[in-house]
Structure 1
Amino acid sequence: MQKYDLLIVGGGMVGLTLALAVRKLTQLTVAIVEPNEPEDLTLEPELRVSAINAASQQIFSELDVWQSIVDARVQPYRHMHVWDKDSVGALDFDISDLSAARGREALGYIIENKVIRNALWQQAELDSGISLHTGEPLQSIAIGDHEVFASFTQQSPIMAKMVIGGDGANSWLRKQLEMPMAFRDYDNHAIVATVDVAQGHQNTAWQVFLPEGPLAFLPLFNDNQCSIVWSTSPDKAKHINQLSFEEVAKELTAASDGKLGTISVASKLMTFPLTMRLAHQFTKGRAVLIGDAAHTIHPLAGQGVNLGLLDAVALAESLIDVDVNGDVTRPLAHYSRWRRAGAADMVAAMELIKQAFAPQNPLMKLARGIGMAAISNIAPVKELLINQALGFNGDLPKLAKK
């Protein structure tokens, strides 16, 4: 029998961040169950990338992993260009628009998920208070009044004082504990791929709002490559996946109004449905949900991972001075209220943006365009929006504060 204070199910970016944050802020011991060990980087970019904001960068710096991430490969972006297809509406943001940039070089960073996870994993391996259990998933979990009992098929069972589900949108732990969720189908599918752009990405994150949904071009570590996130209707996604790479490239070039030059497809296309999920409660007894296990949002603002990282460090902060042998209800209830409110606000904000760009009649497009142009010319409003994009808003955990 192996005994720990915390058992984390899932060793992805959010679960590993939680483990490192707990060890930084407390003396609690941590076990992470993750069947899949990290994979080495290849010369080609990974299809799944994350837009990491300044608050998340601060978290990684506090956990001593940011330099490892930078040493692997990252792509900062100093500019953002957002426009409404076939409209006068456009927004341009630059780090220089922020009067209190505080020496920051970028609005954010586009980083392959594998790069982040590998850096976090390597740091976790260095901590004697973190035990990584790989090779097989958990078979069962039982939660009592004072402890959690988890068993494998072959490995020795684990006993802990608390269990955390950091195992993604289809969380095994959440299903085992029958923790209810609110959910809504966005009626959108996301297509991701790597593309070559003839004019280079120009250290800019590009996003165009099309009739079926937004299309983002996120700059990669190669100056002439971007990662696309194309949110569109299921029928349109099916159509795109039936096209040749040359035909997809023509659609992308036309959709982007040629702003990045001629586009060519440099990888396979990966497609997945988009669904909003929000757990009714983030805790149940001695069980806790973080990251995508607790909530998923539309990717149009690239805030999903950042939201999960805030969950991780908020939970770690809530556990400072907690007596895991006693009643953990109060600190966990505090975490649940704190982070569910933050997630609910983000869900509402994504819905507001999505609905604002949905109407396609000429009068609505004109009004939207005028509004975007007005925002571009009002410095205080632009600065407020940039601060929100940086992640420095709301009730932030200590490890995320600048």
Structure 2
Amino acid sequence: MKNIDIVIVGGGMVGLTTALAIRQQTSLSVAVIDSQELHSIKEQPHLRVSAINNASKQLFTNLCVWDDICAVRSQAYSNMHVWDKDGYGHLDFDQSDIPTGSGADNLGSIIENDIIRNALWHKAEQDSGIRFIPENITSMAVGGSEVFLSFAEQPPIMAKLVIGADGANSWVRKQLDMAMTFRDYDHHAVVATVECAQGHQNTAWQVFLPSGPLAFLPLYQQNTCSIVWSLPPEQAERIKALSTDDFNKEILAASDGKLGNIRLQSERVSFPLTMRLVRDFVKDRVVLIGDAAHTIHPLAGQGVNLGLVDAAALAQTLADICVQGKALNDAQALGHFSRWRKSDASEMIVAMESIKQGFSLQQTLPKFIRGLGMSLLNNVASLKKLLLKQAMGSRSDLPKLCKVQDPLA
């Protein structure tokens, strides 16, 4: 039987970031449990990408993985263009809208999930205090002083704290029957890679259609974008079933030709969109983070950024616990962490719902009124900066690892 201080269930972006952040700030031993192997990076972009905001970029920089990620491939974007398909309004952001003092030189970066995961994994492999267990857990028993984890083949593990970073359908969350608020958005996200004749112009594009938003996220090749198209389930199935030529025609019409002719470059896959929020991030000796604790609409690409801040916040909480000589499951400290992260997630859920419902409401308004509303917002610099500040993760209560580090500190 092996004794480990921290067991992280889930070796995705959030779980691996948590492991690295804990090890950077403490001497705690960490085990990462994940049976999914690394995917090799191919010339064709992977379908799942993330919009990494400035707070997450700073976190990766402080963990010494940002340069490793960018050395493979990434695409920064310095502009955002949002418009109403059936109206006249539009909303534009550029570098002049970046909040003063943020230290950011762009609005964000679009990076394939596999590239981020591989860089984090290789960095963790270099730390002798992080152990990888490529096997699924068969049972978990939470006791008064430890958590007992069993496996089909390898010897059991005793851990002082278990972190569930195992995604939206979290096995850890289900084992402890942790209460959760749940709402089906009644939309599916269709994702694919497309080639755009006029190039992405270092811009993130998003059009609000009567059926839902369609985003074009710029990839490392100037003429290539990753699309995320939010549609009712039956329309998502129809879009996936179209011939390549018919799909190209439909997405060209949906985008108003703003990126020129568009050609499909990959398969089309879809997944259901659901809002989830656990009522408490902590139960006994178990903590949930990332998609295991919350999922939101991909409207502004903030899901993974929320999870990465969870990782930094939990690592900071555990570092404080160690300094104070308390038990790793200290109720007061973990209770503060839970309230901190639930508040942030709740705010983001409400913000995404407000934007989504706002555009849904606009569909019932005359085109002139819709266009006037967006145009007014586009010309109010203070409101634009406020929106961008939230999207870039610029908050006063960010964990230390998500902020620029003072080299003299």
What is the TM-score of this pair, normalised by structure 1?
A: 0.97
Q: What is the number of equivalent residue pairs in this alignment? A: 401
Change (3 A) 1:103 1:55: closer
- Which residue of 370, 373, 378 corresponds with 2:375? 373
The reply to whether residue 335 of structure 1 matches residue 334 of structure 2 is: no
CA–CA distance in structure 1, aligned partners of residues 326 and 101 of structure 2: 41
Change (3 A) 1:65 1:54: same
1:83-94 equivalences under 5 Å are 83-94=83-94
Alignment match, 1:61: 61
Alignment match, 1:383: 385
Q: Is the 8 A contact 2:81 2:203 kept in 1?
A: yes
Task: Return the letter of the residue paired with 2:215.
Answer: A
Q: 1:261-283 CA deviation, whole Å, 9 max, x = no partner?
A: 00010000011110000001111
Change (3 A) 1:138 1:69: same
Alignment match, 1:209: 208
1:297-316 equivalences under 5 Å are 297-316=296-315
Alignment match, 2:47: 47
Task: Return the letter of the residue paired with 2:174.
Answer: K
Task: Return the letter of the residue paired with 1:373.
Answer: S
Q: Is the 8 A contact 2:161 2:329 kept in 1?
A: no
Alignment match, 1:182: 181
1:252-291 equivalences under 5 Å are 252-291=251-290
1:3-402 equivalences under 5 Å are 3-98=3-98, 100=100, 104-134=104-134, 136-322=135-321, 323=325, 325=327, 328-359=330-361, 361=363, 363=365, 365-393=367-395, 395-402=397-404
CA shift for structure 1 position 120:
0.4
CA–CA distance in structure 2, aligned partners of residues 28 and 170 of structure 1: 28
Task: Return the letter of the residue paired with 1:273.
Answer: P
Unaligned runs of 5+ residues in structure 2 are: 405-409
Q: Is the 8 A contact 1:214 1:230 kept in 2?
A: yes
CA–CA distance in structure 1, aligned partners of residues 212 and 189 of structure 2: 9
CA shift for structure 1 position 150:
0.4
Change (3 A) 1:326 1:226: closer
CA shift for structure 1 position 212:
1.0
CA–CA distance in structure 1, aligned partners of residues 281 and 391 of structure 2: 25
Q: Is the 8 A contact 1:211 1:360 kept in 2?
A: no
Q: Look up the SS of the partner of 1:3 in the other structure.
A: strand
Please identify runs of 4+ aligned residues in structure 1 that moved more than 6 A. none
> What is the Cα-based RMSD across aligned positions, in Å?
1.4
CA–CA distance in structure 1, aligned partners of residues 103 and 289 of structure 2: 31
CA–CA distance in structure 1, aligned partners of residues 395 and 83 of structure 2: 24
Q: Look up the SS of the partner of 1:367 in the other structure.
A: helix
CA–CA distance in structure 1, aligned partners of residues 362 and 96 of structure 2: 33
Task: Return the letter of the residue paired with 2:77.
Answer: Y
Q: 1:142-201 CA deviation, whole Å, 9 max, x = no partner?
A: 111110110100011111100010000000110111111110000101000000000001
CA shift for structure 1 position 327:
5.2
Change (3 A) 1:326 1:212: closer
CA–CA distance in structure 2, aligned partners of residues 361 and 180 of structure 1: 35
Q: Look up the SS of the partner of 1:164 in the other structure.
A: strand
CA–CA distance in structure 1, aligned partners of residues 326 and 57 of structure 2: 30
CA–CA distance in structure 1, aligned partners of residues 242 and 4 of structure 2: 52
Change (3 A) 1:395 1:290: same
Change (3 A) 1:87 1:394: farther
CA–CA distance in structure 2, aligned partners of residues 190 and 361 of structure 1: 20
Q: Is the 8 A contact 1:195 1:267 kept in 2?
A: yes
Q: Is the 8 A contact 2:147 2:159 kept in 1?
A: yes
What is the TM-score of this pair, normalised by structure 2?
A: 0.95
CA–CA distance in structure 1, aligned partners of residues 71 and 167 of structure 2: 27
CA shift for structure 1 position 299:
0.3
CA shift for structure 1 position 361:
4.5
Task: Return the letter of the residue paired with 2:171.
Answer: W
CA–CA distance in structure 2, aligned partners of residues 102 and 165 of structure 1: 31
Q: Look up the SS of the partner of 1:315 in the other structure.
A: helix
Q: Look up the SS of the partner of 1:258 in the other structure.
A: coil
Unaligned runs of 5+ residues in structure 1 are: none
